[in-house]
Structure 1
Amino acid sequence: MLTSFMEGLLCCLTSKSTNMVVPIEASEPADGYEFVEVKPGRILQVRHIIPDRSVVEEPSGQGGSISCKRKITVYRNGQLFIQNLGDRVTAELKTCQNGERELNSTLEVELTDCGNSSLPASILEARSDSNIARNNGASETGGEAPAAGRTDHSQQARKCRRKPKRTVVIDTERKISACKGTHSDVALFFIHGVGGSLDIWGSQMDFFSRLGYEVIAPDLAGHGVSSVPQIAAAYTFYALAEDIRQIFMRYARKRNILIGHSYGASFCTFLAHEYPEQIHKMVMINGGGPTALEPSLCSIFNLPTCVLHCLSPLLAWSFLKAGFARQGAKEKQLLKENNAFNVSSFVLRAMMSGQYWPEGDEVYHAELTVPTLLVHGMHDKFVPIEEDQRMAEILLMAFLKVLEDGSHMVMMECPEAVNTLLHEFFLWEPTTPPPPKKDSKARPDTAKAQTDTNTTCESAKVQTATVWQTSSDGEAEAEPDSKAKKMSGD
């Protein structure tokens, strides 16, 4: 502690940041490590593993074709109204915690207060035909009428929702197939967050490279052994996103899978939005909610760099307490071996202050059609589970899995469970239900419509069972909640 204080005092006197991370001297890549110059003088270390494939299995061409139809309307009062028009997506892929189908096809979200309305700032109303029918039946049989206040709120919400500000219509057909390690057109990209390094993915990179996958994992600027620019503008979201874009364009294959942790999940979302045809699937580990990023004005990371350096032992201890479910010798060794939270105070301050991304709001996320697996550590103190639940609500195709023994660094705490979840998701593909059989007998139109409806429901049940057969870990049902900023720690 005394040494850190003296170094911090020296930092204040000399106006320089100590404990800087610099790139190692290496002219030849070794053990799969490469150095990529994304900009003049801006060099990132990348671990690139190309496994030896004796027999390359080409994709069979089979897989599920999902109709992605969605209408997103933003009103002038801040309401977000989402209509899922693709029957297969809403009936087969949206699944609740108990495994039953979620029949909701409409989401109504109020992001801001509506005039003088006393409605909460964040409200989710999930509606279905069955609920509407139930309500109508209650009214016809003399059921209890809704409260007057509730009716007033509903009417007032409708009035406030009359003038759309922006409407986005998504209508596309997306083919989803299994990604095996023997497929030469598949690449896995692992992206860490604030304070991490590519080494935190050690267990995942070793596991999937042994299965034959091509693996790419970069060190963000200022992290690991990548170069450390001495200007704060080099660590904004847009600067780092451009670095990730360059890495992606250099190593991308035909089918790419993005795996992001914490702040790194935002870069995955950015790439999925920019290259929807090349991103086949996506995994977010403790990524947080679908909110626009904005740095907090009242944060410890706004303190001067030298003060943060003096507090670095306290910050490291706090990260250990909040990032791991258990704080023993094993967890401390994991931090040391994987070079996690080993960045300079200058980089840490610049990274936290540069998290400004106003485009990444709920509408931005709702436009994504990439199948996404959300993994959340139950004991995570950086990212509340409500944020990942909210992400699962907004995304078109999202599956939320909660690991009870993990925290923020769940990929290091529970590597076997995480690897299994990821692998099963990579191999998952929706099955196309068989076409309904044609009946030669003439039937009344009403009877034929009823038969078609029953056939569709049965197919949806079979499809849902297939989708969730791959994973047995717990998952949480979505509820609306917080708009907290994505926190660091990796």
Structure 2
Amino acid sequence: MVWNNSVARLARTSRRKLLTASIMSAMSLTIRSTSAVGKETKAPTGTGETTPPVTSIMTRDGVHIFYKDWGPKSAQPIVFHHGWPLSSDDWDAQMLFFLSRGYRVIAHDRRGHGRSSQVSEGHDMDHYATDVAALTEHLDLRNAIHIGHSTGGGEAARYVARHGKDRVAKLVLIGAVPPLMLKTETNPGGLPIEVFDNLRNQLAANRAQFYFDFASGPFYGYNRPGAETSQAVIWNWWRQGMSGSAKAHLDCIKAFSETDFTDDLKAIAVPTLVLHGGDDQIVPVSDSAVLSAKLLQHSQLKIYDLLPHGLCTTQPGIVNADILAFISARRA
């Protein structure tokens, strides 16, 4: 009985110590923000230990945008724009590859996605592009290459067209949503509104199951006969999606499906590489990449037969090599 009482007292003491330590740890991670236009915020430990900074900027409307910035500051920068509903983590294979080739690589979590602020408003392409402009100005990025996948392709196109003058060298669009996904009178090849309404309904009903099914099926082409699936890839997609805001993801469906990028594409003067999977079940190639290449002033189009929407993950070797050849080529 004495032994049992001692164990109980020890357990209670350990729980109190653990609770105290948890509270102190949580208090020490309070983030300080010092600017309305883009200062880094750091998480002090309160223990004298040195820890990496929580890297983010704060936009003019008070939104913290998380970003990664790897490589020498003197190197040519590559800025990556992720797809819906993911985060900058979706670019791991590309960031590590180009970092090893001597580039400076930067990727951010779009507002409401990943580790950025889960704000209620501003989930539209104008705000997305303005957030990127704040980031590039804060880091003073020049002669930059911007690479966007899916929704990130729309974000990148709008940024380059409206904010990128004198800062951008080249653009790469991969499985990108421009010029317009929605079927309209002037875009008869687009997808009907019911497709996007269905996405919204599934997200609202059971986001966790919806995201798991989405990654397990059409995104990576895992629903095709004979496809070799990767549970690690599926769960990584799910992890990224569930880390973001349901409200932001719901609003972003309208942003990526109903935004018309026609004028943006026409205004882009830098060389642009357009890559797309021939078996893309998310953004049909015939009404996206093919049309975008025609609207751009200086474009190269490459369609990969049988590759899916998530080709940057399923075939990074092919995609990375083609991007490297494009960005390292001298501008004619």
TM class by smaller structure: 0.7 to 0.9
Q: Which letter does structure 2 place at the counterpart of 1:228?
A: Q
Within the candidate set 227, 236, 240, 2:128 is matched to: 240
One-letter code of the match for 2:157? Answer: T
The aligned residue for residue 277 of structure 1 is: 166
Task: Report what 1:408 is aligned to.
Answer: 309
Tell which deviates more after alignment, 285-294 or 256-265. 285-294
Spell out the pairing of 1:455-466 with structure 2 (5 A cutoff).
Answer: none
Aligned-partner Cα distance in 2 for 1:340–1:406 = 22
Q: Displacement, 1:381?
A: 0.2
* Cα RMSD after superposing both structures: 3.1
Task: Give matches, 1:305-316, under 5 Å.
Answer: 308-310=204-206, 312-316=208-212
Q: Deviations over 1:360-409 (max 9, x none)?
A: 44343223211101111122101112121111112111111122353111
Aligned to 1:422: 323
Q: For the Cα contact (< 8 Å) 1:302–1:353, is it kept in 2?
A: no
Instruction: Report the Cα distance in structure 2 between the residues aligned to 1:414 and 1:408, rounded to whole angstroms.
Output: 11
Separation in 2 of the partners of 1:32 and 1:418? Answer: 31
Code of the residue aligned with 2:113 in structure 1: it is H
Provide the C-alpha distance between the structure 2 equivalents of 1:225 and 1:198, rounded to a whole number of angstroms: 9
Query: Cα distance, 1:315 vs. partner?
Result: 4.4
Residue aligned with 2:55, SS: strand
- Verify: 1:349 aligned to 2:269, yes or no: no
- Superimposed CA distance per residue, residues 238-289 of structure 1 (whole angstroms, 9 cap, x where no aligned partner): 2222212211212243301000011111121112212232211000000134
TM-score by length of 1: 0.50
What is the distance in 2 between the residues matched to 1:30 and 1:402?
44
| 191, 198, 209: which one aligns with 2:99 | 209
Deviation at 1:320, TM superposition (A): 2.7
Distance in structure 1 (CA, Å) of the matches to 2:268 and 2:276: 20
The separation in 1 between residues aligned to 2:102 and 2:54, in whole angstroms, is: 18
Structure 1 residue identity aligned to 2:106: I
The residue type equivalent to 1:271 in the other structure is Y
1:27 aligns with 2:43: yes
Cα distance in 2 for residues equivalent to 1:366 and 1:300: 31
CA shift digits 1:330-387 (9 cap, x unpaired): 53311323544334433321211345876x4434322321110111112210111212
Higher percent of residues as strand: 1
CA deviation string 1:126-179 (max 9, x = no partner): xxxxxxxxxxxxxxxxxxxxxxxxxxxxxxxxxxxxxxxxxxxxxxxxxxxxxx
1:311–1:185 Cα change, 3 Å: closer
Shift of 1:199: 0.6
Q: Is the 8 A contact 1:192 1:198 kept in 2?
A: yes
Amino acid of the structure 2 residue aligned with 1:368: I
* Structure 2 alignment gaps of length 5 or more: 1-28, 32-41, 45-49, 185-190
- The secondary structure found in structure 2 opposite 1:322 is coil
CA distance in 2, matches of 1:310, 1:292: 24
Q: 1:393 aligns with which of 265, 272, 294?
A: 294
Corresponding position: 1:317 with 2:213: yes
How has the CA–CA distance of structure 1 residues 285 and 355 changed in structure 2, closer, same or farther, with 3 Å as cutoff? closer
Shift of 1:33: 5.9
- CA deviations 1:222-250 (Å, max 9, x no partner) are 21122211x2x331222222212211212
- Confirm or deny: 8 A CA contact 2:168 2:270 kept in the other structure: yes
Q: Work out the CA distance in 1 between the residues paired with 2:124 and 2:263.
A: 22
Cα pair 2:43 2:53 within 8 Å, conserved: no
Summarize deviations over 1:20-40 as a string: whole Å, max 9, x none: xxx997616966861222246
Distance 1:260 1:392 in 2: 15
Mapped partners of 1:242, 1:284: distance in 2: 19
Q: Which amino acid in structure 1 is aligned with residue 81 of structure 2?
A: I
Q: Secondary structure at the match of 2:68?
A: strand
Shift of 1:329: 7.6
With 363-372 and 289-298 compared, the bigger mean Cα shift is at 289-298
Q: Which among 296, 300, 321 is matched to residue 198 of structure 2?
A: 300
Q: Alignment identity in percent?
A: 21
Matched length: 273
* Alpha carbons 2:57, 2:64 under 8 Å: kept: yes
- Return 5+ residue gaps in structure 1 as ranges: 1-22, 53-183, 432-490
**Residue of structure 1 equivalent to 2:81:** 191
CA distance in 1, matches of 2:200, 2:149: 23
1:285-341 C-alpha deviation (Å, 9 max, x unpaired): 0013423879975412444x9x72425414431343111123678533113235443
Selected match of 2:175 from 286, 290, 301: 286
Aligned match for 1:326, one of 222, 227, 231: 222
CA distance in structure 1 between the aligned counterparts of 2:229 and 2:258, rounded to whole angstroms: 36
Match of 2:282 among 376, 382, 385: 382
Q: TM-score w.r.t. structure 2 length?
A: 0.72
More helix by share: 2
- What is the DSSP-based 3-state SS (H/G/I as helix, E as strand, rest coil) of the residue aligned with 2:308? coil
Return closer, same or farther for 1:335/1:250 CA change in 2, 3 Å cut-off: farther
